[in-house]
Structure 1
């Protein structure tokens, strides 16, 4: 048993990838186009916020971080996934597997902590508008972002370190990417400690942010109910993109958590692939589209940058002639 464990722990095999014949090229092209789209729209929104000084405000800085997180999570999944589509032997080394787990799991938790910070920003702006600038200072924004990034990274690192110590009795992962729970299930020994730490991880990095966001919006609804119709409309306009993003991501996260805790062998393969892709595709596309198209400040800034680029191009052409 030990020899088998030491042999299989060196690499893992994704069992969901099968030979689709010529269709693999179609899947590869579609996924590549999706990845390029994710990169393009997130880079456009984040670069616009970085270069337009009028957008150097807390809410837009948080949106920029949300787009950067989408790029981070996509980079941890799509390059390897595209390779696996075209490969006949879908093996991944232990180091690469744990690296992918770290990137995807930090993407998950960073998304939630950033949405939590954004909910707090909207709460202060709507419920305490007179004190907004005194509370949401540059130092406060830095502290919030530091916590939103460092704390999840530390917690995820701790969970994966404990998983890396487990001796494994197999190497087959019934997923399209490496996940911590799938690896823990391959262990030859008792995983009670890992289960306890995993539950603490879910409570501290997933459930707590979710309840905090719900609490802030409950307070916002109370304030809006007592306010005028005009104030209520403005509050809804500023909160709507965040609500759409939060609901979309919560649904995606619920599907992923449900998938990871069920017996993978008993679930339809197509369902596993669809839910996994939905979790890693919808939020990275949804975030920049919702904020880029619904917030007039970002929309005007994007079109302004495009117009300036066209004008400079026409000017350069005119000078050459």
Structure 2
């Protein structure tokens, strides 16, 4: 409810849902299946790397962080999305909206920063193999990941606090979920502070990471051009999963920007829905598939983990039958 001075709104209407009609059940089942797949695949990837000592290396530790971040981002947003798909009101409270903003921003920044770190890891592995163990020590990798989460949470907390203090004069958000830019557009007062901090935050979230990615792959390309054909083939095989994952995340970010910055009302509803959930669904869904399919080591370890679970279940079943 909005007060006379426009200073307080207790809930928002997520207008992008519109009238789904009977198709809401189709969308619900589709998103639910994708969500369950995200949970199962990422838990399998995390379990595989955690249980196999052969995979206790920096690159795989970064993969675990991608898996954890994927579970975090999808858990923070998709269950609410499923509720709204079935709901006829499509309303969300202001606190829940701010929580969604926090989850969305921390998920995106952590994902891109981890991908940047993985690019640097590939650069060290290919260009400085003899120094790899000294440069990419487990302690440094752990400290980096912990620092990323601390930085991301702190930076995003400031964004959410600044947005929460804005008096708003509208309650319609033209998206399937809340994002910071949509709320700032509803403000009744000058948003210079929010905009300036937003630009600083954007630079810190993209600038250093993109520079590291370009530097790493620039070095990899330079070294590969001077190397033998066999070495180039190994470099391509090593970098391909990461490049596919990076491209997938870039597509997701492009869809997210289009949804936030431009009027999508004339775009077909199906495309808008896919574009909206791509950032939340397809990035965490495809990451474990990309690395599981491309990496023979992970593939074999996953089969071992699945076989262990199957053997354990059979043993428990046999014990139960004997007792009976």
Into which bin does the TM-score normalised by the smaller protein fall? over 0.9
If the length of structure 2 is used for normalisation, what is the TM-score?
0.93
* C-alpha distance in 2 between matches for 1:151 and 1:288: 25
Query: How far did 1:316 drift?
Result: 5.3
Query: How far did 1:217 drift?
Result: 0.5
Instruction: Structure 1 unaligned segments of length 5 or more: list them.
Output: none
Any idea what the Cα deviations from partners look like across 1:33-81, whole Å, max 9, x if unmatched?
1111111111111111111111111111110110111111111111101
Q: Which residue of 1 aligns with 2:308?
A: 308
1:23-172 paired onto structure 2 within 5 Å: 23-172=23-172
If the length of structure 1 is used for normalisation, what is the TM-score?
0.94
Query: How far did 1:160 drift?
Result: 1.5
Contact 1:6–1:167 (CA under 8 A) maintained in structure 2: yes
* C-alpha distance in 1 between matches for 2:231 and 2:257: 38
Any idea what the Cα deviations from partners look like across 1:82-128, whole Å, max 9, x if unmatched?
11011111111111100011011111111001101111111111111
* C-alpha distance in 1 between matches for 2:185 and 2:117: 34
Query: How far did 1:271 drift?
Result: 4.1
Q: Which residue of 1 aligns with 2:253?
A: 253
Query: How far did 1:31 drift?
Result: 1.2
* C-alpha distance in 1 between matches for 2:139 and 2:72: 25
Q: Which residue of 2 aligns with 1:234?
A: 234
Q: Which residue of 1 aligns with 2:10?
A: 10
Contact 1:35–1:74 (CA under 8 A) maintained in structure 2: yes
Contact 1:175–1:272 (CA under 8 A) maintained in structure 2: no
Stretch deviating more after TM superposition (145-154 or 92-101): 145-154
Contact 1:255–1:275 (CA under 8 A) maintained in structure 2: yes
Query: How far did 1:315 drift?
Result: 4.9
* C-alpha distance in 2 between matches for 1:12 and 1:4: 17
Query: How far did 1:17 drift?
Result: 1.8
**TM-align CA RMSD:** 1.9
